[in-house]
Structure 1
Amino acid sequence: MKNSHPTEIELKLALTPDGPRALTDLPLLGKGALHTLTNTYYDTPQSDLARARIAVRLRQLDGAWLQTVKTAGQGGGGLSERQEWEWPRDAATLDTASLATLPPFQAESEHDLRPVIAHLAPQLSTDFQRTRWELDWQGARIEVVLDQGEIKSGSHRAPIRELELELKQGDASALWSLARALAEHVALRPSDSSKAARGNALAAQAWPLPDAQTPSQWLNRATLALDAFHDSGRAEHLNAATAALMQLAAHPALPKALAPQAATLCTTLDAHGHPARAYGQAALALAQRLID
Structure 2
Amino acid sequence: MQEIELKFQIPPAARALLAEALRDATSTSTRLRARYFDTDDRLLARAAFALRLRQEGEGWVQTLKGRGDGLMVRLEHNAPLGTASGDEAPALSLERHAGTPAGVALIALLARAGRTPADLALQFSTDITRTHAEVQAEGAVVELALDVGQIEGGGQTLPVWEIEFELVSGPAEGLLSLAYLWTEAFGLWLDVRSKAERGDRLARGVTQGEVPAPVSVDAGQPWPRQVAAALAPVLALVGEVAEELASPAQRVALAQALGTLAATLRAGVLVQPQAVGAADTVSALAGLVFDTAIWRRAGTQALWFNLLEWSLPGVG
TM-score normalised to the size of structure 1? 0.79
Residues of 2 paired with 1:216 and 1:9: CA distance? 14
With over 3 angstroms needed to count, the CA separation of the structure-2 counterparts of 1:159 and 1:131, relative to structure 1, is same
Contact 1:57 1:69 in 2 (8 A): yes
Residues of 1 paired with 2:16 and 2:276: CA distance? 32
Name 1:3's counterpart in structure 2: none
When the two chains are superposed, the root-mean-square deviation of aligned CA atoms in Å is 3.5
Deviation at 1:143, TM superposition (A): 1.0
Name 1:93's counterpart in structure 2: 90
More helix by share: 2
Are 1:185 and 2:185 counterparts? yes
Residues of 2 paired with 1:249 and 1:106: CA distance? 32
With over 3 angstroms needed to count, the CA separation of the structure-2 counterparts of 1:240 and 1:129, relative to structure 1, is farther
With over 3 angstroms needed to count, the CA separation of the structure-2 counterparts of 1:122 and 1:165, relative to structure 1, is same
Name 1:253's counterpart in structure 2: 267
Q: Which moved more, 1:204-213 or 1:161-170?
A: 204-213
Question: How many residue pairs were aligned?
Answer: 285
Q: Which moved more, 1:138-147 or 1:115-124?
A: 115-124
Name 2:31's counterpart in structure 1: 36
Contact 2:252 2:289 in 1 (8 A): no
**Residue 73 (structure 1) aligned to one of 68, 71, 85:** 68
Deviation at 1:257, TM superposition (A): 0.6
Are 1:277 and 2:298 counterparts? yes
Q: Deviations over 1:175-225 (max 9, x none)?
A: 112112222212223332222123224445342323135554443222211
Contact 1:185 1:277 in 2 (8 A): no
Contact 2:244 2:292 in 1 (8 A): no
SS at match of 1:111: helix
Q: Which amino acid aligns with 1:193?
A: R
Contact 2:230 2:261 in 1 (8 A): no
Deviation at 1:87, TM superposition (A): 0.9
With over 3 angstroms needed to count, the CA separation of the structure-2 counterparts of 1:162 and 1:237, relative to structure 1, is farther
Deviation at 1:40, TM superposition (A): 0.8
Name 2:161's counterpart in structure 1: 161
How does 1:159-238 map onto structure 2 within 5 Å? 159-204=159-204, 205=206, 206-214=209-217, 216-229=228-241, 233-236=245-248
TM-score normalised to the size of structure 2? 0.74
Contact 2:9 2:162 in 1 (8 A): yes
Residues of 2 paired with 1:29 and 1:248: CA distance? 42
Residues of 2 paired with 1:36 and 1:141: CA distance? 23
Q: Deviations over 1:104-133 (max 9, x none)?
A: 555995324596222322101122221111
Contact 2:8 2:190 in 1 (8 A): yes
SS at match of 1:58: strand
Question: Using CA pairs below 8 Å that are at least 6 residues apart, which structure has the higher relative contact order?
Answer: 1
Are 1:20 and 2:22 counterparts? no
Q: What percent identity do the matched residue pairs reach?
A: 26
